Amino acid sequence: MRHLLISLALLGLYAFPTLAFAQDLALKRVMLSSGGMGYFEYEATVDGDATLKLTVSLQQVDDVLKSLVVYDDKGGVGGLSLPGREPLAQAFKDLPFDQASLGSPAELLATLKGAQITVGGSRANSGRIVSVQEETVALGNDKGTTTRTRVTLFTERGLQQFILEDAENLQFADAALRDKVSQALVAIQGNRARDARTIELSARGTGKRIVRVAYIVEAPVWKASYRLTLGADPMAARSALQGWATIENLSGQDWKDVELTLVSGRPVAFRQALYNAYYVTRPEVPVEVAGRLVPGVDRGGVQADQRSKASSPPMPAPAPYRPQQERSMAAPPPPPPAAMAAAAEQIEASDAATQVVFRFPRAVSVENGRTLSIPIIDRQVPAMRMALYQADTAARNPLAAIRLTNDGESGLPPGLITLYERDKTGNVAYVGDARLSGFPVGETRLLAYALDEKITIERDMSQADRLATGTISQGVLKLSRLVRQTTVYRVRGPAKEPRQLIVVQRRLTGWTLAKPDAKGIDISEGNYRIPFTLPGGDQTQTFEVVQEQTQQQVVRLIDGAADQIRVYAQAREFDAKTRDALAKVLQLQQSVAEAERKGKQVDAERQQIVQEQARLRENLARVPANSDLQRRYLATLDRQESELEALAKRKIEAEKGVETARDALRTYVAQLG
């Protein structure tokens, strides 16, 4: 207990001011964006020059430095200042001790060896600190041990010691050192709110006036949700739609009677670490050390010619420095809020260029850490019941859906819709949920919320292609093939009530819709939305959806395959002139093929003779000279040589025939088209 009293006495040598966390500025307006940003506007009444304090969380400082704006119609802003990112580390940077040294008197004295101190009490003393040592001392009556701190001082009487725990008071003799200890304690006190920074804003002006300060910081995204109540009549044209906004106050402060505005949009928002210190890396240049200079010996000189020297114009004197005048970011104060309206439909909703704005007609209060949900829309909207068939979602049954039209004066933000249905007796039942995307004025949305098992759909797909047209130009046959993909839907409708059916059909890129007529058909995210009417009565109807694509193909008639050209020559999709031309090309191709066949036949006969001669020459090497068999082999070789000469002539004639046939084909093809 005495040790604690000594510690408190040491740390409380000097009193220091307490940092005020309270805001000098009062929060008046909050604007929350669905893009995750919040606009916070404060007001303060000032007279003349003033310094306003604004406390924000550490993680918001970057956004505040990026976006803070001041509105002052009778003055200007002189700038702002705030502690560094690590103020405590900076406070101890130039002190002879660190923060850990202030953990106890013993640690501080051990750090400040050599400092002059004065000790009060029964053994008053004064001297410089030599050492600080802990020692364990046994307590009387076998009560265990305790730890004491023995401090050794260098005094005028030599080394003197005292027990720190027995000292009644202790004082540093050096006033500068006392100031540094006091500064360190003030810094520790001010850093208790480590996750907050207090910004001091300088407002300069004359007279009494209202200064407004605003900034943009990260904030929780506000969410929209809707309730749609369908009437008992399935053919009713309109239904009741109610929209709610859910917001969270996680700003660290209570919102008391603030003007609340909600904005739905997708603004571009950046974050930059303006609160961090950055340094530019500079290249290091080595120090140039000059060598020893040895001046030369003066040996006299002669007088040079005197010539006039052109004088350089004097350098202009630098312009005197004039500080830039402060610019007022003045703006007229906002108009007073509209009279309070209890009805939700009186909330002001308006369309801006890129967002929808909802302004609440009365002040709102939300405590920090609490969630608030407020109705923002309550009106009748055009809503038509229908069935929506999406094969990827449900292959056999369509989805029950609502075609919703925004005929209001402002868009609607995205959100979930809970659907209720009122029966003829007035009872209400939950029927499903749907997702609403951003909903601009004048657009429609299909909202699927349940499976419609009263309708059954079977689907078949097939694909076929056929020749469409063919023309010949510059020796090339240009073909057009028509490819058709057909989807057949067999639909059994509801037994009693009629229904409008929307079929979602994948739109093939580069294809056209041939059936049904494209009039009245929507395209959404790469899909056709095709309407069909089901009259009711448990009937089965068949619908066809046909998409077509014309594919182009070219065939070079000079080297085109004969079998392919034969098929095209018989195609009834081509006109008679084209078919006749293809038939003639086929005939000329056959002539070329016949000429080439003759040349190949000559080559085969020659190859056979060459192989036979090789056999005969091999046999000649084994038979006796001047024998009958030798003479027979020699006669055969002589006859074969004559045959080879004849084959060579036939080869030349065959090659001429091939070339003549090819020339005829090229000439004919070239004159086509």
Tens-place pLDDT, residues 483-517: 999 999 999 988 888 889 999 999 999 999 999 98
Percentage with pLDDT > 70 across the chain: 85
- Contact in structure between 377 and 491 (CB atoms under 8 Å): no
Which residue type does 3 have? H
Cβ(644)–Cβ(609) under 8 Å?
yes
Q: Domain spans of the chain?
A: 2-139+146-218, 223-253+367-451, 456-556, 562-671
Question: Could you identify the residue written with the tokens 């929780």?
Answer: 220
Element (H, E) at 117: strand 116-120
Q: Which amino acid is at 340?
A: M
What was the pLDDT predicted at 262? 92
For 441-469, letters b (16+ CB in 10 Å) and e give eeeebbbbbeebebbebebeeeeeeebee
Q: What is the pLDDT of residue 165?
A: 81
pLDDT tens by residue, 129-158:
888 888 888 887 777 888 888 888 888 888
Asked whether 46 and 52 are in contact (CB, 8 A), the reply is: yes
Contact 450, 400 (CB under 8 A): yes
DSSP 289: -
CB 224 within 8 A of CB 86: no
Q: Which of 185, 181, 107 is nearest to 151 (CA)?
A: 107
In this structure, of 266-270, 345-349, 386-390, 666-670, the range with the lowest mean pLDDT score is 345-349
Burial letters 243-255, b for 16+ CB under 10 A, else e = bbbebbbebeeeb
Question: How confident is residue 84, by pLDDT bands cut at 50, 70 and 90?
Answer: low
Structure tokens at 341: 């309206």
**Rounded to whole angstroms, how far apart are CA atoms 107 and 116?**
16
Structure confidence at residue 325 (pLDDT): 37
Report the helix count and the strand count for the chain, using DSSP H and E: 8, 30
Q: What are phi and psi of 431, to 5 degrees?
A: -120, -15
| Residue 242 phi, psi (nearest 5) | -125, 130
Give CA separation, 572 vs 194, 360, 553, in Å. Answer: 88, 74, 17
Q: Which of 12-16, 274-278, 539-543, 551-555 has the lowest mean pLDDT?
A: 12-16
Say if residue 343's pLDDT is above 80: no
Helix (H, G, I), strand (E, B) or coil at 642: helix
| Residue type at 272 in one-letter notation | Q
CA 328 to chain centre: 37
351 CA to centre of own chain: 25
Q: How far apart are CA 422 and CA 428, in angstroms?
A: 4
Query: 3-state secondary structure string, 247-271?
Result: EECCCCCCEEEEEEEEEEECCCCCC
Residue 655 makes CB contacts below 8 A (sequence gap 6+) with: 599
Enter the pTM of the model.
Answer: 0.62
Cβ atoms of 360 and 367 within 8 Å: the answer is: no
